[in-house]
Structure 1
Amino acid sequence: MTTKHSPLQIFCLVVNFLVVVLTTVVAFTILGRQYQLLEAIPGLFRNDLQKVAEAQPSPISPPQWLHCTWGVILVWQVVWAVHGLASICRTTFGFPVYTNPVLLTPLMLVLFMFACGFNVSWFILYDRLYTSTSCLFVFLMTSTAWTAYGLSLTALNFNYYRMQKTSMECEVCVTRVLVQNGLAAYAMWGVFVLAFNVAVALIHNTHTHTSENMATIVAILVIACAQLIYLAVDVVCLDDFSRYIITPYFIPIIVLAACLFRQEVWFSTDINFILLTTLLAFAFLSLMAKSAWTTYKIIRNNTGGGDITGSGPSSPVNESYYLLK
């Protein structure tokens, strides 16, 4: 571990902060236009998210207030970006915090910057009713966000044992709460934006001529596959990495409940009602399963079963490799 600063990492942390702030400003610009408030960048948008939803409606379009989720999630990203900047000025054991250890890796930061870039592109394209093209950009945004999230999990898991031995539990908690839960919320929200965008594109694209019911089923399948895959991977494969990441379980509940209560028809024979209700029930069950599994693992490990991550006593490690030098 070097006592010197890393110019590359400092550059990535600073640029990441600027990119996240710019993305947040763009998001608040379109939200400000939607709610007839001050636009941070006047003239950037011609419409707003609600006007697009009214011009090109779909059976599962989210309610107007749910668009504010963009602001909440992006402010969360700004908070952890500020945390990254602050780590440049802080030291621990004589080392800069951001290098001791490296939790916000340059690759992870670059990928997240790309995600923000795709996000801004999506805002502009969607505002101009290029709903088919915008599907590609929201897909790229979501994919890069999930990849950045995975790299963050890997970096923390790799350094966890050493951080525990050197009493850096506070830094571990901050990383889990701010960075990883924030990235996971951003990525899962992207899945829902993608699904809604796909439904709109299928219905209103003159080349596809897809019925509203079929477009709804396709969008629901996107959401269902994302929920199933995430639950399976999170609990079965990545439990040691993501045990305290819970935002991907709350996002579906909030979004699906909002879409369900927006439905004008509440009949047991209505396909939209059936699909949304099923997904919402699964989202609740997933949250319960995650909570029960996490509680069980914590209780078991605190009663002598080993550390709460894979690098504890239950997994022998070479301490000379992990401890600070």
Structure 2
Amino acid sequence: MAKQDVCFIILAVLTMVSFVVVQVVSGITMSRCEKHWNFTNRSNDDTDLNPPGWAFSIWFVIYMWQAAWIIYVLTTICRQCCGKPIYQLLNVVTSPFLAIFIVNQLLSLGFFYIYIMQMDETVTPMLSVFSLWVTVLLCLIIYHYQMAAVPPKLACQLRKDVTCLIVLVQNGLAMYLSWLTVADMLVLNSFAVYTVGVPMTMSSCLTLTLLAVIVTVYFFLELTLWRKYVRYTFTTYPTVMWGLMAITVDKWDPQNPTSIYVLVLLLVVSVYFFAKIGVTFGRRSAKGKYAALQQY
């Protein structure tokens, strides 16, 4: 029987503990939300891009997805193949990955503290959301690097576990990262309007342009250079679409250029999403059911 990695086990348990703590604090914080959540916590800081409170119900889906992959990782400690625990065989979710995710959870507590304390500024929330974004991005980089190193034969042998990693870890973190990207854009917009003094319409249009550039660059990269890594990532576009749809429903005004811009961007992201589905499953059908997994 292979020797267990004590450090990994401790980090896996701490990941679950920190996640549960964040859920408790999150529940308390969300119960204090008003109709419109504004990232600067000032009641007069509403902008053309602030989504309604119900839009943040997506956090429930994000948290449930994180809970699913955390539980899955814990099961890999108990299950073995070829005399070794699954987590050691695949070595995709590693100790550095878990350590960074724990840091992310601690930073989440910091963000909730900022909201509860009603800090009257925009810089602190902006830096807080950005730090969350960086930690999730680092987790995904580690994940993709390790997944690409899994031998093809092992991936076929443990294809159920590889599928769980793709569905739970890869898509769960991608949804988390996508929503944090939207949040970064919203808090940046508030910062530009209420701290820098940029006119609201101009700031909103610049923010939407930045988001459009990010999504478009990602779309082309995932179909070319990043195809090997993110071809089975499907949660990115629906998450962005959810945010844009919420803004459109809540703030639609045909006389407002921002509303038109949001609607156009929503349609563009939708086209990207359906194109992604068509390209992915078109290539999958051409190569066979498990050929794509063998590339890992």
- Please say whether Structure 1 and Structure 2 have the same fold, judged by a TM-score greater than 0.5: yes
- Alignment partner of 1:176 is 2:175: no
Report whether the alignment pairs 1:163 with 2:154: yes
The equivalent residue for 2:200 is 212
Change in CA separation of 1:88 and 1:23 when aligned onto 2, cut-off 3 Å: same
**Could you tell me which residue of structure 2 aligns to residue 83 of structure 1?**
72
Q: Where do 5+ consecutive residues of structure 2 fail to align? A: none
1:80-119 CA-to-partner distances (Å, cap 9, x unmatched) read 1111112212222221122122121112222222222222
Q: 1:160 to 1:278 in 2, by over 3 A?
A: farther
> Which amino acid in 2 is paired with 1:152?
Y
Indicate yes or no: 2:125 matched with 1:134: yes
Letter in 2 for 1:18: V
Q: Which amino acid aligns with 1:285?
A: V
Cα distance in 1 for partners of 2:279, 2:150 equals: 24
- Give 1:138's aligned amino acid: V
* Distance in structure 2 (CA, Å) of the matches to 1:102 and 1:58: 45
Whether the 8 Å CA contact 2:4–2:85 is kept in 1: the answer is: yes
Partner of 1:189: 179
Report the Cα offset of residue 286 of structure 1: 0.7
In the alignment, residue 170 of structure 1 is paired with which amino acid?
A: K
On the 8 A contact 1:50/1:64 being kept in 2, the answer is no
- Counterpart of 1:231 in structure 2 is 219
Contact 1:260 1:273 in 2 (8 A): yes
State the alpha-carbon separation in 2 of the partners of residues 311 and 264 from structure 1.
Answer: 45
Answer yes or no: is the 8 Å Cα contact 2:129–2:183 preserved in 1.
yes
Paired with 1:158 and 1:124, the residues of 2 have a C-alpha distance of 39
Instruction: Report the alpha carbon displacement of residue 308 of structure 1 after superposing the two structures with TM.
Output: 1.2
Seen in structure 2, the aligned counterparts of structure 1 residues 51 and 67 have a Cα distance that, compared at 3 Å, is farther
Change (3 A) 1:162 1:213: same
The aligned counterpart of 1:39 is none
Tell me the matched-pair count. Answer: 294
Q: How far has the Cα of 1:35 moved from its partner? A: 7.7
Amino acid at match of 1:212: M
3-state SS of 1:183 partner: helix
**Cα RMSD after superposing both structures:** 2.4
- Contact kept, 8 Å, 2:185 with 2:211, in 1: the verdict is yes
Q: Identity rate of aligned residues, in percent?
A: 20
Q: Given the two structures, how large is their TM-score scaled by the length of structure 2? A: 0.91
- Aligned partner of 1:191: which letter? T
State the partner residue of 1:104: 93
Corresponding position of 2:58: 69
Does the alignment pair 1:255 with 2:243? yes
In structure 2, how many angstroms separate the alpha carbons of the residues matched to 1:22 and 1:226? 32
Q: Which runs of 5+ in 1 are unaligned?
A: 37-46, 313-325
Q: Structure 1: how far apart are the matches of 2:239 and 2:80? A: 35
* Native 8 Å contact 1:31 1:48 kept in 2: no
Larger Cα-atom Rg: 1
Flag the structure with more relative contact order, 1 or 2, with Cα contacts below 8 A and sequence separation at least 6.
2
Residue in 2 aligned with 1:59? 48
User: Which consecutive aligned stretches of 4+ in structure 1 deviate over 6 angstroms post-superposition?
Assistant: none
| Equivalence for 2:291 | 307
Q: Deviations over 1:110-137 (max 9, x none)?
A: 2222222222222322442432211112
Q: What is the correspondence of 1:9-88 to structure 2 with a 5 Å cutoff? A: 9-34=8-33, 52=41, 54-88=43-77
Match of 1:283 in 2: 269
Following the alignment from structure 1 to structure 2, what is the Cα–Cα distance between the partners of residues 302 and 6?
A: 36
1:153-205 Cα deviation digits (max 9, x unpaired): 2222211513234x211101111111110000000000011111111122222
Determine the C-alpha separation between the residues in 2 that align with 1:212 and 1:300.
49
